[in-house]
Amino acid sequence: MNSKENKEMKSDNRRDFLKKSALAGVAVAFNPLSNFAEGVIPTKDLTVDLNNNNITSKNITILITSDIHSQLNTHDEFFWENNTSVYRKRGGLAVLKTMIESYRKKNPLTTIVYDGGDFFHGHAVASLTEGEALIPIFNNLNYDMMLPGNWEVVYKKKKMLYDLGHVNAAKICANMYHKTNDSDNGELVYPPYWIKYIGGVKLGFIGYTDHLIPKRQSPAYSEGLSFEHAEKNIAKYVKLLREVEGCAVILVVTHMGLAQQVGLANNPAAEGVDIIIGADTHERVRVPIQAKYTKVVECGAFGSFLGKLELEIENNKLVNIDYQLLDVDPVKYPADKEMQALVDKAYEPFKIDLQTVIGTSKTPLVRYFVMETPMDNLITDAIKWKFKPDIALSNGFRFCQPLAVDPKTGLATITKEFLWNMLPVNSEAKTGIVSGKQVWDWLEKELQNAFAKDPSKRFGGWFVRYNGIEVNYTIGNEFGKRVNSVKVAGEPIDLTKEYSIVACEREGDPDDTLCRIEHVKNPKKTPTLMHDVIIDYLKVHSPVSPKIEGRATATDEPPTLLTQLKGTTYEFR
């Protein structure tokens, strides 16, 4: 029997004891599975007096943020209205602070504030300080609980433990483990669940991050960690929280992407869950998605939106859920002065360099479209120009808020700060040689990653981006049968011919793997960093005008496709 099985058996024995004893219904704030290694310790007293007669309302509010990606200040945001793009100013952590406090003050004893992950990565200040500069900012927002996202691992395991260990919110994750060959012997990294007592009502939260992190991210990021799909243990924890702990409401908080989250909500393992509060794909669910066993919401990204979930409880039972997705609007909510001072302090050491203008664009830089985006066309244009390969590649990144064109100048001003938003990991460029057959097979795999019929196999990122090839496919087809045609330099691809490719290095990949293409010939990591490629390109070509131009086309979806999720009432806007 391995250590994980032994640990699970001990936990099952403990629960049997509790069920047979008078302790059933008494909350256990932390499961003994929890491991507080490397300075990660419980950060809050999780209890509120169950006999507090001052709390008369049975309406409990949960305020939700997710995928903020360290975006410190108010920025441009993209909306899709009447089949066209619209840009408005949204976000800013000082604005968010004002908004959160305005709602918290209405019901201070019955409000919970939660973040769904990807807070500590995505902006230059975060990357250049490995998340540390964001710790006091996160704590000033006074979160009660957080979940590690897929990008929390970017600074490696030890740094993740340090950053999250220094935030004052409770951390939960029921599917992130220390690898069995390290000193922590396969234990959970964080407690699997969190319980909150409010006015005699127990709320239980179970947390899950994406089990595909080691494949989605550069493999080196998650070294020393392992992950399981939520279906492996969610039913166990639902039963524990409901039958042993006596929770009136069970919420599952996830960072798995909307398709995976809806897939989980359709999985019998999720029976008994009242709602799934999701994150990862930056989707804006404005009406909860009703699946077979529960509902699902996801609350946007970049601090541009705040989810507001109201739970109505009568006789210790959940009788109604009311949910809204609210804009973090700087006109309605003036920036909190204390928070803005913290943001400015974190930003100041990098201010001069980050505000350096490196180029301009006549068209908005946006990355919200699933198949092809102007932002990634700019990146792959630059790679193609710099290295002259047959094919230039960019991963299907989702992060980075848009950059709108100033109506007064007709230009969008690109700074080094925005470059860090586009590419918050400044990787080396890597070259190699692949056959046409390798390219074709790789495209099939990437389409599967983005559009697999089994949601648990979807990576959560968008389809890979490129220059030098044109690809037509059918999203609804089976794996291996989606690609209809591929052209290289305007000519049909020759499956026997060899082509040169360039992409960014993924730390921890085998030497002969490039942008998830395996067994690449003559792989070579260059000394050229991707940021320098973009800076050099803009120096020569500004103003640029990247746009969607048919590099990726589908027979069954428009080029402006904005979500991977099909078969529901959900619509991105």
Domain locations in the chain as residue ranges: 3-341, 355-554
- 246 versus 515: which is more confidently predicted? 246
Is the preceding peptide bond at 543 cis, omega within 30 degrees of 0? yes
Phi and psi (nearest 5°) for 237? Answer: -75, -35
> Which of 22-36, 124-138, 237-251, 300-314 has the weakest average pLDDT?
22-36
Under the banding of pLDDT at 50, 70 and 90, the label for residue 37 is: very low
The whole-angstrom separation of Cα 511 and Cα 219 is 12
- Shortest CA distance to 435 belongs to which of 502, 490, 494? 494
pLDDT, tens only, 371-403: 999 999 999 999 999 999 999 999 878 889 999
- Does the pLDDT at position 12 exceed 90? no
Q: Would you place residue 71 in the very low, low, confident or very high pLDDT band (cuts 50, 70, 90)? A: very high
- What pLDDT does 6 receive? 45
- For 130, other C-beta atoms within 10 Å of its C-beta total 17
pLDDT score at 28: 34
pLDDT for the residue numbered 172: 98
Q: In this predicted structure, what is the pLDDT of residue 389?
A: 98
462, HSE (Cβ side, Cα atoms, 13 Å): 24
What is the C-alpha to C-alpha distance for residues 198 and 201, in angstroms, rounded to an integer?
A: 5
**Predicted model pTM:** 0.88
Of the candidates 248, 254, 257, 255, the one whose C-alpha atom is nearest the C-alpha of residue 270 is: 254
pLDDT of residue 461: 67
Which carries the bigger pLDDT value, residue 357 or residue 48? 357
More confident residue, 269 or 4: 269
Q: What local confidence, expressed as pLDDT, does residue 462 receive?
A: 82
Mean pLDDT rounded to a whole number for the chain: 89
Read out DSSP for 239-264? HIIIIIS--SEEEEEEES-HHHHHHH
pLDDT bucket at 219, cuts 50 / 70 / 90: confident
Residue 537 has pLDDT above 90, yes or no: yes
Mean pLDDT of 438-443: 96
For 446-458, the pLDDT digits (tens) are 999 889 888 777 7
Q: What is the pLDDT of residue 184?
A: 64
The mean pLDDT value for 1-17 works out to: 43
Better-predicted residue by pLDDT, 507 or 111 = 111
Query: 534 falls in which pLDDT band (50, 70, 90)?
Result: very high
Same fold, 3-341 and 355-554: no
**Arithmetic mean of pLDDT, 28-56:** 36
Average pLDDT over residues 134-143: 98
Question: Rounded to an integer, what distance in angstroms lies between the CA atom of residue 147 and that of residue 174?
Answer: 10
C-alpha to C-alpha distance for 60 and 275, rounded to whole angstroms: 14
The mean per-residue pLDDT over the stretch 554-564 comes to 93
> To which H or E segment does residue 146 belong?
strand 145-146
How high is the pLDDT of residue 8?
44
Distance CA 257, CA 370 (A): 13
Residues 6+ apart with CB under 8 A from 465: 372, 373, 376, 377, 379, 380, 393, 394, 395, 396, 551, 552
∠ at Cα 518 (513, 519), nearest 5°? 90
For the stretch 460-510, pLDDT in tens is: 668 899 999 999 999 999 999 999 999 999 999 999 999 999 998 878 788
Q: What is the CATH class of 3-341?
A: alpha beta
For position 308, what pLDDT does the model report?
98
> What does the pLDDT average to over 345-350?
98
User: 218-222, 249-253, 355-359: which has the minimum mean pLDDT?
Assistant: 218-222
Supply the pLDDT for residue 183: 60
CATH number for the region 355-554 comes to: 3.90.780.10
Q: Read off the pLDDT of residues 161-171 as tens digits, 9 standing for 90 and up.
A: 999 999 999 99
CB 435 within 8 A of CB 445: no
